[in-house]
Structure 1
Amino acid sequence: MTRAPWSAFVAAALAIALGVLAAWPIYQTPWLLVPAAAGLVLGSGLIWASLRLNWSAPILLTIAALAFALTLLPVAVPQALLGPPAGLVPWAADALAAVVLGWKQLLTLTLPVGTYQTVVVPAYLVFFVTSLSTGWIAQRSSRFAPLAAAPLLLPVAFGTVFGAAEVSAPLRLGAVSLAAPREVALWGAAAGLGAVWVAWHAGYERRAALRLGRTERSAAVRGTATRVASAIAMLALAGLVGATFAPALSGDRVVPRDSVDPELVLAERPSPLAGYREWKSDTRIDAPLFEVSGADAAGGDADAAGGLPPRLRLAVLDHYDGVNFQVGPHAAGRFTRLPSAPQVLDPVRVSITIAEGYTDIWAPIASLGEPPQFVGPRSDLLADAFYVNRDTGAAIAVPGDPGSEGLAAGDGYAAIMSAAPGGPLSGDPVSETPLVDLESMPELAAWVRTQNQPATAGGLTELVELLRGRGYLSHAISGAESEWVTRLAEQHGTRFEPSVGGHSTARLEDLFAQLNTQQRSVGERVSEAQLVAAVGDDEQFAAAAAMLARVLGFESRVVLGVRLGEGVPGVPGCQRVCTGEHLSAWIEVRGEAGEWVPLDATPQATLPPTSLAEGEQLPEFPTTPEERDAREVDPPLGFGDRSEVADEAEQVAPPSGVWPVVRAALLAISALVLLVVPLLFLPLAKRWRASQRRREPIAELRAIGAWLELVDRAADSGVRLPHTMARSDAARVLGTDAARQIASEVDRAVFAPGQFGDADADRLWRLVEDQAAAHRAEVGFWGRLREAYALRSLGIRFRGSSVSKRDSTAEWS
């Protein structure tokens, strides 16, 4: 290299190292070092090759774009190489699209993102551009080389702009507290690097002159002192700015991530708990929902590693409106993508395959230790449509393809999940006062007072167990010959007892009224069997247990899902294939300890309710109450009403397997177009300039334009013509008959008296075009390409330019 190439490499390496530290909170994966090293080596290597092979700037940019595109997959999308070779083309299309759209994906993902999909592409692009631009600017003249300090700030700026709003904790040194020490240190280091770069390159030519003995030593000492003082001043200014504005960083800063909504807000849907009883009907009790298998984190059998997770969540419902438990409009209803996940206890790899009996957006999962890997015909579509609520642990899949509202038969995924069992509830409640309006539920309040349990974790656990023990399992208001009755009778001796569906305030008050009436009727000192009075199933009892927790000041929510392995009496756990029979509901409770603890709420199925008076008989012809079980059917799409226009659009929509390919192709083409557009700027600008000169309305000006066009084309080919040279002298340098004739005619048009007509100006332009055509035929394709992107005719000249330089005696022919 011509100008201390090692300095550009060292500066770029330091800037990229600072960029890795700044971007670490975004990615938090050691793989970030790979694009950092690749960007540094590739960018610096291309600069070295351009100087050795005498490339022009456009050729360098073209080769750099191709090299970057070819290295995208192995450097920035490592997971693409782990799949089948047939999947490389879609991955490559997504990676090229991420060059343009990756910033948006990075802003709409919850941090950290790891190596999820193509999120590493923006970081690789920043590191590569930093190395390439620093090396290229450093090889310019001493007037431009200090400008390389600007790209040296780019990596730290990337980590700052795309990072989280939270800053590092204050650093206390005795009585002094420094706000955001990490951020201040990174920017201080970046500013120091830029100051050293400017100070070093500002005196490059002076040091070269000193080595040749052409500068007085005293002047050199003065110049050195000036540069050192300038660098110290820049560092002091950066420190002063940091110290002044650091207190403002003590809170959350404003970043672009705050302006881009990264969440999918689940629209109001029918409560899945309200439709719980439909899964126990004869038509759906044996319907296969999904198949579960597992292996330990190292790939061994799950049974040897302690088994599968004890539970799989479907829906988590935290909001009660007096009618239904459903997903709340706040934290529980906001779902985000899952680019990475924290480590979990007792990790086990769980594979889930959706069966034909299940079609819904809720994905069965336990606590995830990594993003799921989807399989099946819609794997790519589902990978982009998988969202997780980090507060509740629930997950949804909303692919949005025509005819599908969520997961469907044939879909599947595998992921590391936690197999750790839930611990016992401990700690105090979050509130000293009830979290429910007791005036609206007097029977609930009366039952809690009667049990005389403290507002503690142990008191709540005891209340839930009393509720379960005094309840009796029943899934319907009628149907004594139903399949669920037959099975419970065989297993537990259960007899049919009618129960009304729903879990509204009125239904729960009726349940607690039965318990209160029974307890008052039988008096004190009776067995628990005589206190059994409330009839219902998981729908009513999970809702009732959640309200009990809120009465004692604990936060609570209802979870709909399945148990794996052992279940509870009345609702078995599934071993491999989960069906409607295995679907259950339980509650999760949180106190001051901050962790959600599951509590079972299924009522017992062994002891039937006792009568209020000994010897009382039921009527001979009992009246069957009107069926109140509400069967709510989810809308086909699940996110708002469907219009006739939407239905028509779905009928003509392309098949689900075609649209992802078309979409990826369009994004890839758009990315390529955006990469190509800058390369077309120079040729189009020169063509527009020639067109403007040729359309001048005055013949004399058109003639001058023809001469200027001739000179500019000669300059782009490498001929040096001083601006002060007369036209006749310049024509002799160009050495062609056309140049001499055009120079003579232009001088006549400008200085000689007489009329210079349009025909004369057009003749000069034809001479220019003929001369240009002969020159293009002589230099060939690569010569024409080099001249099309040359910058000399625009007044931009660089040292070390790869354009072949001709001295002032060379001819242009």
Structure 2
Amino acid sequence: MTAASVATPVAAPGAAPATAPTRRAALELPSGRTWFDIAILMVLAVLGVLGFTPSYGGYSFLAAGLGGLALGLATGLLTTMLRLGGLLTFAVAIVGYFLVGPAVAVPSQTVFGVVPTLRSLASLALGTVDGWSDLLTLSTPVGAPAYIAVVPYASAWLVALSSTLLAARWLARRPRTAWRFGVTLIPAVVLYLAGILLGTQEAYQAGIRGVAFAVLALVWLGWRQPVGGVAARTDGALLRRKVVGTVTVVLVAVVVGGGAAYWFSPAQDQRFVLRDEIEPPFDPLDYPSPLAGFRHFSKQTVDDAQFTVTGLQPGDRIRMATLDSFTGKLWNVTGAAASTSGSGSFELVGRSIPHAPLATTTSHPEVEVTISGYQDVWVPGVGYPTDFELTGGEAAGHSDDLRYNAATGSMVLTTGLHEGDSYRIDAVTQEAPSVQELSTVPVAHVELPPVEKVPDVVAKKAQEWAGAETSPVEQLEAIRLVLTRDGYLSHGRSSDVVPSRAGHGADRISELLEGRQMIGDEEQYSSAFALMARSLGYPARVVMGFAPEVSEGSGAITVTGRDATAWVEVAFEGVGWVPFDPTPDETDIPQDQVPKPQSEPQPQVRQPPRADKEPENLLTPVQLDQQDDDEDDAPFTIPGWVYPVGAGVLGLAALVFVPMIVVAAIKSRRLRRRRRAARVADQAAGAWAELVDRYSELGYQVPARLTRGMLAARLEAQFPASEQQAPPRLRVLAADADELVFSARDAETAEGDAVWASALDAVHLARTQSTARVRLLSRYRVRAGRDLVSRLTTTAPRRSDR
């Protein structure tokens, strides 16, 4: 298109003013074929969005996913019809993303479900950055944090926008070759794969979606060329062949694809999904074993209030941590690297807390807990939680730091619990069947890590005490009865008659079982009983917690360190983890039976020094770093969401203004170099070159290889007509520049300055007559890279843009 065809002509004297082109005429509507291409791509994108269904456990995410698709489609079409360049298209897309996103992705944080708030914008930014990792670590179905729905919204928006732009701006203006169709399909294919990789082992209609996706893509590819030509007009043979071929492709895709899906698709537990490959963000092995700090509660903080509980029932035990791995030194949780379903695998939880995989449960009243002296990451609770809410204290603002293990019912708060924190638990508890009811029930097949470095005396005593019993529960009950009947309870306090050494490692268990009397507390007895059960091949684990005295109708119960306890759970098939309490109640140890030290004859061979057993070898639980008092007294704390929002705003500002500053510096250097030329003739030539560059950057057509006079006439013809403002006299300026450049006389400096002043005035006049959008684009244009910048920032002739 020539420059004259896009300029607004100047009305001749006596003629009616020229009619300005309407805005409607400036729109570039897609062709029917482009509309069809976009429709196919959107259907493929919808099939990809449906792949997120297993992760969300329903269709609640569809509002966000389809909203993102609609926004991306509308943005791509609108910017294409308005002929906006790449930079403006990007700006419009980002603004639309943040304006529409809160209403479709986080409507609960908006005003009237539509108007964005600062909180909703912060959630949108956080979800765009962190939602992907949270979706892989959240237990399914995901529902919280609130920004988790941003993932399908953002992915669908990006795919719809890129697909629409490719179809409307790239595919529509180039030969419709197969490889271009393949490139245009890439966004939809990526979205389809994302739904699989970010999903679960259970696929959503994998066969139907896969066959439908393949059929649509193949048919679209086969019909990329319109049916036409002489042969098609005469007998329609080409059309018939294409129809027959299309039907054949559909039938083959359905039969072959359906058969392959049935015969070759992997089992659900063999699907490759990223959530099975990513290690959870919380690793409890970074913290000391809770059981190692048992004496901290039972001896050092005996009478100190730990927390207050309401809603307890008689016989309730408060679970703190569940341990199923023994290293020879202590019991601990199973590391996430060793087992993705063990006691150490904790996941983010949303609105729905997953059910225990092996449990026979009964309902339990709501329990409320208020923390006083307790400080740890482990969250004390009852049974298996079905709903959880942080209600007060510092923890109330850290719900996103909560992790849960469905196999053990254990919860952790990675930021830790402190005085004043409170929470509410809805839970179910495991039924406790009698020995008679379990007499014919086998133990369950549960994958547990092997115990290591177990003393030989454990298996020996287990076989001896189990006696002639044959059923698992009867053998376990026989062992438990021996421990409770022959053992004595001692916490090693000053009031205890006989000291009891802390610890539950292999040496301490050997001491317990090989001594003349068994003396210890819940830490040693639970460890010994669990090791004996494991030596018989039964799945057993140790639970650390509290067992306060609760009577019928009790209100708030204050739990102290004296209430700390430990017990053992064994898994039975179809029943669940049944608790066993192997700790004796007897504390009055007979003094006359206390073994007295006897002299032992030593052989003549030199013996290594004997390790003296210290009466105390206390291990304390993890102590969380406390904030300084100065931080507690701080008058104001910046909310955490401010940082990602601020980073996003600064990043967007840098993206917009840094290129503008760089281009301005380049233009300033160019102008100084031209104006400071040594000769006046060079200064005049530089003034004209600066004018031409500025006009080109404003969108004027600047043909190459024209004299100054001819180019001035072309530029004047492109200048918009205005009754208030006459066009600049560029031909006069061109003549003045030619006279200074080609004359042989020595020109005065003032003459060069006059040419520069006229040139800059003409540039200023052109800028004032241009639209705001054109003036903004000119700040990003440098004529030295005009061709490249033109491809990135314009899609139509420049004068129609202005």
Matched, 1:549 2:533: yes
Match of 1:470 in 2: 485
In the TM superposition, what are the counterparts of 1:175-324 in structure 2 within 5 Å? 186=209, 189-190=212-213, 192-197=215-220, 203=226, 217=233, 261-267=279-285, 269-281=287-299, 284-293=301-310, 310-324=316-330
Matched, 1:665 2:675: no
Instruction: Specify which of 50, 53, 67 is matched with residue 24 of structure 1.
Output: 53
Q: Which moved more, 1:551-560 or 1:190-199?
A: 190-199
Match of 1:411 in 2: 421
Tell me the alpha carbon deviations over residues 648-675 of structure 1, each in whole angstroms, 9 at most, x when there is no partner: xx65985598897354222112112333
CA distance in 2, matches of 1:416, 1:797: 58
Change (3 A) 1:779 1:439: closer
CA distance in 1, matches of 2:193, 2:544: 41
- Paired-residue identity, %: 22
In the TM superposition, what are the counterparts of 1:54-69 in structure 2 within 5 Å? 58-69=87-98
Tell me the alpha carbon deviations over residues 634-691 of structure 1, each in whole angstroms, 9 at most, x when there is no partner: 45448xxxxxxxx9xx659855988973542221121123334444577467547646
Tell me the alpha carbon deviations over residues 682-740 of structure 1, each in whole angstroms, 9 at most, x when there is no partner: 74675476468658899999999977765565466555566787765443232155643
Matched, 1:154 2:187: yes
Deviation at 1:327, TM superposition (A): 3.4
Contact 2:325–2:334 (Cα < 8 Å) also in 1:
yes
Instruction: Specify which of 135, 141, 148 is matched with residue 119 of structure 1.
Output: 148
Instruction: Specify which of 367, 385, 389 is matched with residue 373 of structure 1.
Output: 389
Instruction: Specify which of 456, 470, 483 is matched with residue 441 of structure 1.
Output: 456
Matched, 1:774 2:765: yes
Unpaired stretches in structure 2, ≥5 consecutive residues: 1-28, 597-611, 717-726
Matched, 1:505 2:538: no
Contact 1:566–1:573 (Cα < 8 Å) also in 2:
yes
Instruction: Specify which of 564, 568, 576 is matched with residue 587 of structure 1.
Output: 568
- Letter paired with 1:670: A
Instruction: Specify which of 360, 372, 376 is matched with residue 356 of structure 1.
Output: 372
CA distance in 2, matches of 1:103, 1:703: 59
- Where 1:541 maps in the other structure, the secondary structure is helix
- Letter paired with 1:605: D
- Letter paired with 2:509: L
Match of 2:615 in 1: 628
Contact 1:167–1:249 (Cα < 8 Å) also in 2:
no
- Where 1:289 maps in the other structure, the secondary structure is strand
Contact 2:390–2:399 (Cα < 8 Å) also in 1:
yes
Match of 1:605 in 2: 585
CA distance in 1, matches of 2:698, 2:253: 46
CA distance in 2, matches of 1:197, 1:277: 71
Deviation at 1:761, TM superposition (A): 9.7
CA distance in 2, matches of 1:94, 1:148: 36
Unpaired stretches in structure 1, ≥5 consecutive residues: 170-179, 295-302, 400-405, 483-495, 518-532, 639-646, 807-811
- Letter paired with 1:385: D
TM-score using structure 1 length: 0.70
Change (3 A) 1:636 1:469: closer
- Where 1:631 maps in the other structure, the secondary structure is coil
Change (3 A) 1:157 1:129: same
- Where 2:417 maps in the other structure, the secondary structure is coil
Deviation at 1:553, TM superposition (A): 0.6
- Letter paired with 2:332: Q
Contact 1:288–1:357 (Cα < 8 Å) also in 2:
yes
Match of 1:740 in 2: 731
Change (3 A) 1:162 1:48: closer
CA distance in 2, matches of 1:198, 1:109: 39
Contact 2:52–2:199 (Cα < 8 Å) also in 1:
no
Deviation at 1:134, TM superposition (A): 3.4
Change (3 A) 1:372 1:675: farther
Deviation at 1:227, TM superposition (A): 11
Change (3 A) 1:13 1:772: same
Give the alignment's Cα RMSD to 1 decimal: 5.7
Tell me the alpha carbon deviations over residues 565-624 of structure 1, each in whole angstroms, 9 at most, x when there is no partner: 8699xxx99964433343321112246x4985132224343797789xxxx89999xxxx
Match of 1:492 in 2: none
Count of residues in correspondence between the two structures: 717
Tell me the alpha carbon deviations over residues 136-195 of structure 1, each in whole angstroms, 9 at most, x when there is no partner: 4444372259668756543552453475489868xxxxxxxxxx9966865664455445
- Where 2:578 maps in the other structure, the secondary structure is strand
CA distance in 1, matches of 2:159, 2:325: 50
Contact 1:776–1:784 (Cα < 8 Å) also in 2:
yes
CA distance in 1, matches of 2:99, 2:86: 20
Change (3 A) 1:798 1:511: closer
Tell me the alpha carbon deviations over residues 253-273 of structure 1, each in whole angstroms, 9 at most, x when there is no partner: 777667754332234544432
Instruction: Specify which of 325, 340, 348 is matched with residue 337 of structure 1.
Output: 348
CA distance in 1, matches of 2:745, 2:579: 103
Contact 2:296–2:621 (Cα < 8 Å) also in 1:
no
CA distance in 2, matches of 1:224, 1:660: 73
CA distance in 1, matches of 2:470, 2:736: 105
Change (3 A) 1:578 1:237: same
In the TM superposition, what are the counterparts of 1:579-728 in structure 2 within 5 Å? 579-590=560-571, 593=573, 597-605=577-585, 628-634=615-621, 636-637=623-624, 661=638, 663-680=640-657, 683=660, 687=664, 690=667, 714=695, 717=698, 719=700, 728=709
Tell me the alpha carbon deviations over residues 763-805 of structure 1, each in whole angstroms, 9 at most, x when there is no partner: 8776554333222233464552365579988333999859761
Change (3 A) 1:552 1:193: same
Match of 1:795 in 2: 790
Match of 2:442 in 1: 427
Change (3 A) 1:242 1:160: farther
Change (3 A) 1:53 1:458: same
Matched, 1:558 2:542: yes
Tell me the alpha carbon deviations over residues 393-439 of structure 1, each in whole angstroms, 9 at most, x when there is no partner: 3332232xxxxxx211122233543334356763247699x976899
Contact 2:329–2:504 (Cα < 8 Å) also in 1:
yes
Contact 1:337–1:386 (Cα < 8 Å) also in 2:
yes
Change (3 A) 1:785 1:357: same
Change (3 A) 1:19 1:115: farther
Match of 1:96 in 2: 125
Deviation at 1:554, TM superposition (A): 1.5
CA distance in 1, matches of 2:628, 2:398: 21
CA distance in 1, matches of 2:470, 2:316: 28
CA distance in 2, matches of 1:367, 1:8: 56
Contact 1:368–1:418 (Cα < 8 Å) also in 2:
yes
Change (3 A) 1:122 1:465: same
CA distance in 2, matches of 1:630, 1:239: 71
Change (3 A) 1:377 1:473: same
Deviation at 1:315, TM superposition (A): 1.8
